[in-house]
Amino acid sequence: MALTETEFLELEDKSRELRHLIVDTVQWAGGAHIGGSLSAIDIMTLLYYKYLNIDVTNPEWGDRDRFILSKGHIGVGLAPVLADKGFIDKQELKTFNHTGSSLGIHLDKNKVRGLDASTGSLGHGLSLALGTTLAGRHQKKDFKTWCLLGDGECNEGSVWEAAMAASHYKAHNMITIVDRNMCMMDGSTEDVMALEPFADKWKAFGFHVIEVDGHNLKELAEAMEGAMDYTKGPVLLLCNTIKGCGVEFIAGDYRYHYASFDPEKHQLCKDQIDQYHDLRKEENR
């Protein structure tokens, strides 16, 4: 079993806490990319609180694992994680996307401690991850590089160029994750630019594909451990998720790709997050 019952309960509580912090940061910012942040936060919770080999006191440690957020527009999801881990001051979240803040809507590696890459131009992250992986191989280091993409981002041809190269170089230390929430900024992925049969496409490019419920921490942990154990080539974790997961009135709605809330809706978000996590914890114990 990848997670003990104690770990599961602690990670569930952490995921709830981070969802609250994301919603608060969106409110402080006056608006941000909430939908994809909430669909990806369970993935980032497991990475940052269980699997990434990192050192908060030494963020540039050469042997650390790397995390590249290719879908860089969800900086409002990653910044609360970095703040909670201690890389940045939590008070900085109140300035997110304000003029002069170090926390822009797309996070900047030169300004944000603990960030491995500046991203936001979709389709670039997988190439960065592959380059990082091959550099580590050249230096005879065995760190893992994790790269999180959005499913809509996979419309970009550069994603598939990087995938082809990753397979060619048998980049087994690179683990690719797709946040498959089925939504893009302006509609359903299958309406805007159909991706299915999505898993088969990654397999055809030489990836070992593990499909998993991206909101079930126990299943997700087992999938991540399976990905880390695989040594024959690159791995894809295809995480089936829900846009805006945890907030009932926005869940699955592409119109909440970017949003802002009045005080009443802000509180409703937090209440619904608590209801969602109470139910999820009981169902998965």
Cβ–Cβ < 8 Å for 93, 20:
no
Tell me the C-alpha distance between 231 and 136, whole Å: 15
Q: Enumerate residues 6+ apart whose C-beta is below 8 A from 178.
A: 148, 149, 150, 151, 154, 198, 236, 237, 238, 239
CA distances from 257 to 62, 126, 243 (A): 35, 22, 8
Residue 152's nearest CA partner among 236, 262, 254, 231 is: 254
Q: For position 82, what pLDDT does the model report? A: 98
Q: Give the CA angle between residues 281, 284, 285 to the nearest 5°.
A: 80
Cβ–Cβ < 8 Å for 75, 8:
no
Tell me the C-alpha distance between 30 and 97, whole Å: 9
CA atoms within 13 A on the CB side of 152: 21
Q: Which fold has domain 5-284?
A: Rossmann fold (3.40.50)
Q: Enumerate residues 6+ apart whose C-beta is below 8 A from 57.
A: none
Ranges of residues in the chain with a pLDDT under 70 are 1
Q: Enumerate residues 6+ apart whose C-beta is below 8 A from 98.
A: 29
Residue 270's nearest CA partner among 237, 251, 247, 252 is: 247
Task: State the first-to-last Cα distance of the chain, in angstroms, to the nearest integer.
Answer: 13
Beta bridge partners, 155, equal none
Residue 210 Ramachandran class (φ > 0 left, ψ -120 to 50 alpha, else beta): beta
**What's the longest Cα–Cα distance across the chain?**
54
| DSSP annotation of 70 | S
Return the H-helix or E-strand segment holding 179. strand 174-180
| DSSP annotation of 56 | T
Q: Enumerate residues 6+ apart whose C-beta is below 8 A from 144.
A: 53, 65, 66, 173, 174, 175, 228
Q: What are the two backbone dihedrals, phi and then psi, of residue 236, each rounded to the nearest 5 degrees?
A: -120, 125
pTM for the whole structure: 0.97
Tell me the C-alpha distance between 64 and 166, whole Å: 20
Q: For position 89, what pLDDT does the model report? A: 97
Q: For position 198, what pLDDT does the model report? A: 98
